[in-house]
């Protein structure tokens, strides 16, 4: 069989898959391949998902990671202090790339719907109930750890 003609190849492979026993053989090959290459497949899937969802390529993510010294842009917690990688933050409306954030800070922005006025009201609320003398202090933000 000549594999040069795409139509003939497609027809041959379709017929091959329908023969008794070949489907199980193919599934075993795929399972073996996945078992041998699980880490690589996981990395590629994560890179594909990141680019599809946020527009960040692996090179852009790595450059931002180096630029930020591996730290969250908001709380400055280092990525090595967490089990999860830094998240590639982006504006959902315009898909504009922003910075890398830890999961907690990224979730917080999302829960505030990326609305600065809502975040300012939340900050004022927290400051209103802070112990006396703490309102004027600017403290380093600490993300919760597991």
Report the chain (146 residues): mean pLDDT per 10 consecutive residues. Answer: 80 88 90 96 93 91 96 95 91 88 94 94 92 60 50
Torsion 9-15-17-20 (CA) sign: negative
Select the CATH number that applies to the domain covering 69-146 from these four: 3.40.1350, 3.30.1490, 3.10.170, 3.40.1800. 3.40.1800
pLDDT of residue 16: 87
- Beta-carbon neighbour count of residue 33 at 10 Å? 11
Distance CA 50, CA 34 (A): 21
In the structure encoding, which two tokens stand for residue 75, read together?
A: 């709380």
Is 5 strand, coil or helix? coil
pLDDT of residue 99: 96
Q: Are 117 and 134 in contact (CB under 8 A)?
A: no
pLDDT of residue 133: 66
Domain positions in the chain are 69-146
pLDDT of residue 146: 43
Distance CA 62, CA 64 (A): 5
């Amino acid at each position: 069989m000549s594999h040069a003609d795409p139509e003939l190849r497609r027809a041959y492979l379709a017929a091959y898959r329908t023969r008794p026993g070949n489907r199980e053989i193919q599934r075993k090959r795929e399972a073996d391949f996945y078992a041998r290459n699980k880490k690589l497949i996981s990395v590629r899937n994560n890179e594909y998902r990141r680019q599809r969802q946020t527009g960040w390529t692996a090179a852009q993510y790595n450059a931002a990671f180096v630029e930020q010294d591996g730290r969250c842009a908001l709380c400055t917690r280092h990525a090595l202090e967490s089990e999860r990688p830094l998240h590639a933050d982006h504006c959902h409306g315009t898909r504009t790339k922003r910075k890398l954030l830890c999961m907690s800070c990224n979730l917080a922005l999302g829960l505030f719907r990326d609305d600065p006025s809502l975040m300012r009201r939340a900050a004022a609320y927290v400051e209103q109930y802070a112990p006396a003398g703490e309102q004027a202090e600017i403290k380093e933000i600490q993300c919760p750890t597991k």
